[in-house]
A and B are shown apart, each in its own frame.
Chain A
Amino acid sequence: MKLDLILRIGTKLLLPFILLFALYVQFHGDFGPGGGFQAGVITAGMVILYALIFGVKAAKRIAPQGLVERMVPLGVLIYAGTGIAGLWLGSNYLDYSRLARDAPYGHELGIFAVELGVLITVAGTMTAIFYAFVDRGR
């Protein structure tokens, strides 16, 4: 792989745009198609592309295995924690009405937090699965 100049440079040029697109899909998901699930998969796709071209070792420098594996439960905790926050503020589980002073803003905030949790779990899981399969082959 060391000699494939076009692949290496092309990948390096593409990576920031893939990450930017993932963030766009995540944060613009309220107004256009997209959301945590898609953004998570695109983020994982970025790591996978990097690993395919530069090797898994290099990929583990930008997305360390420990971090990726911690992201898997972290996202679920953020999601469930958003529900608990609703309980704590005196409404039902996963009811976001009281997260802000006005109910609609509370819902918007709740959706943002929940989508963030989904992003973290999905990106972490997909990358961890990829690492697991690749490491098995060596």
Chain B
Amino acid sequence: MEVLQRFADHYNYVVTIFLMVAGLYIVIARGNLIKKLVGLSLFQTSVYLLYIEPGKIIGGTAPIIDPAFKVYSNPLPHVLILTAIVVGVATLALGLALVVRIHEAYGTIEEDEIFSREGEE
């Protein structure tokens, strides 16, 4: 029972790390540039979880002050991640714009083909 409790207590960290590692794997192993960017955003969302999870207090509520509540979850990680999400989509769009330009220059978005075309020239 104690092992089960311990597992449940740290399960969120394990899943967060799984998401992070899955993103890392996609970025390294896959040659398709759009897939790489999706992997990068997976990695990024796992960081959101890593920040928000320790801020949660069981039995607490959202950090909007009201006389009816006493315990609030930590607002600071929320602030940092909220801005990070919007910045994330802006940088994702920048990456995708680069992908579009690479596609116009090389006619492909597969890394292997881009490298082989570089070799031909």
* A contacts, CB < 8 Å to B: 31-33, 35, 37, 40-41, 122, 125-126, 129, 132-133, 136
Contacts and interface: CB of A to CB of B under 8 A. Distances in A.
A132 B100 CA distance: 11
Contacts of B93: 129, 133
A132 B86 contact: no
Interface string B25-68: 00000000000000000000000000000000000001010000
B90 interface: yes
B15 interface: no
Contacts of B100: 133, 136
B96 A33 contact: no
Interface of B: 62, 64, 82-83, 85-86, 89-90, 93, 96-97, 100
Given A31-B64, A32-B64, A129-B90, A37 B82 contact: yes
22 contacts: A31-B64, A32-B64, A33-B62, A33-B64, A35-B82, A37-B82, A37-B83, A37-B85, A37-B86, A40-B86, A41-B86, A122-B86, A125-B90, A126-B89, A129-B90, A129-B93, A132-B97, A133-B93, A133-B96, A133-B97, A133-B100, A136-B100
Contacts of B97: 132-133
Nearest to B101: A136
Contacts of A37: 82-83, 85-86
Given A37-B86, A133-B100, 7 more contacts: A31-B64, A32-B64, A37-B82, A40-B86, A41-B86, A133-B96, A136-B100
Contacts of B86: 37, 40-41, 122
Q: Sorted from nearest, which 10 A-B pairs have the closest CB atoms?
A: A129-B93, A37-B86, A122-B86, A136-B100, A37-B82, A125-B90, A32-B64, A37-B83, A41-B86, A132-B97
A137 to B, nearest CB: 9
B33 to A, nearest CB: 15
Contacts of A33: 62, 64
A136 to B, nearest CB: 6
